[in-house]
Amino acid sequence: MAKASPQTYVVRTKFNAPIPFVLRWCTDYSPTDAKLERSRFRRRILKRSPGRVVFEDLDHTPEGWVWSRWTVTIHPPDRWHGEAVGNYRGWHVDYRLTSLPRDRTLLTLRGRRTPMVLGTENPSKRSLERGLAHDWENFRRALEADYARSRRPARRRSRTA
C-alpha cells in the first residue's frame, strides 16, 4: 500500500475583536471545547504553561476510537503553532493573526494533514476546508459573544435604605 501524501489546507476567518483578545480566546484550550465544535469528543489537558499547551482528544465514532495528542506553542502577540499525532491523522498547523481596521482581526490557518496508520486518503481540499471554515464560523460566533460580554460594564447592585 502506498503511503498517503500530506495535503495543505488554508482557512481564513474574520473576528470582530482585537488581536490580544482573539489570541487569548483561541489558545485557551479547555475540556469544554467540544461544545464549540458541536462535537462529543473528550479533551484532557495534560500540560499547560504560558507558552505551551499539550492535550489529547478522544472521540468514539461508528468506525472506532479516534485519538490525537496536540502540542500547541503560543507565540505572542499574533501567532501559535500546533502539532498533532493520532491514530487516523497528523497535523502541523500555523495560525497567524492580522490586525484589521476597527479592532477586527483576520485569522489565517495554514495546516498540513497527513493520514496515519488507520487513516485513509485525505479528503479533498475543498471538502476539508469547507468543514474547517464551518468549525471556525462556530468559533467566531462564540468568540464575538464573549468579547461583547467582556466589554459590558459590570452591573452595580443598588442599595435600598
Q: Judge whether 2 lies within some domain.
A: no
Instruction: Return the CATH number at 67.
Output: 3.30.530.20
Q: Looking at the domain assignment, is residue 156 inside a domain?
A: no
Residue 158 lies in a domain: no
Alpha carbon 28 to its chain's center = 9
Question: The pTM is what?
Answer: 0.86
Give average pLDDT by consecutive 10-residue segment, the chain, 161 residues: 72 98 96 82 94 95 88 98 93 97 98 81 85 92 96 66 49
Residue 157: the pLDDT is: 57
